[in-house]
């Protein structure tokens, strides 16, 4: 199993959509929210994704195709 940390930045129109739930369900990934901030007009979340590497890559591509900005994250965002 591989692990990857990513930051998703959601546009306003996707804030209320279950994107993270669908990511975990559709790509058989464990999603661990490490930090998040959501308001009425914007939202971001830092996730730790765990699963098969090819599924993580396919899942991240799917999220990006929905219109979510995806950025890599280094280190432990809860500790630091």
pLDDT digits (tens, 9 = 90+) for 21-73: 999 999 999 999 999 999 988 999 999 999 999 999 999 999 999 999 999 99
The C-alpha R_g of the chain, in whole angstroms, comes to: 12
Where would I find the beta strands (DSSP E) of the chain? 2-10, 30-38, 43-51, 69-72
pLDDT digits (tens, 9 = 90+) for 1-16: 999 999 999 999 999 9
State which CATH number among 3.10.450.50, 3.40.50.261, 2.40.37.10, 3.30.70.260 fits the domain covering 2-72.
3.30.70.260
Determine how many CB atoms are found less than 10 A away from the CB of residue 30. 12
Query: What residues does each domain of the chain span?
Result: 2-72
pTM: 0.89
Percentage of the residues of the chain whose pLDDT score is greater than 90: 86
Total count of residues recorded for the chain: 80
pLDDT digits (tens, 9 = 90+) for 12-35: 999 999 999 999 999 999 999 999
């Amino acid at each position: 199993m591989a692990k990857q940390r990513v930051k998703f930045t959601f546009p306003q129109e996707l804030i209320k959509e279950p994107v993270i739930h669908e990511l975990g369900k559709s790509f058989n990934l464990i999603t661990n929210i490490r930090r998040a901030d959501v308001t009425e007009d914007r939202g971001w979340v830092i996730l730790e994704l765990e699963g098969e590497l090819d599924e993580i890559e396919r899942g991240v591509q799917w999220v990006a195709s929905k219109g979510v900005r995806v950025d890599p994250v280094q280190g432990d965002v809860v500790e630091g």
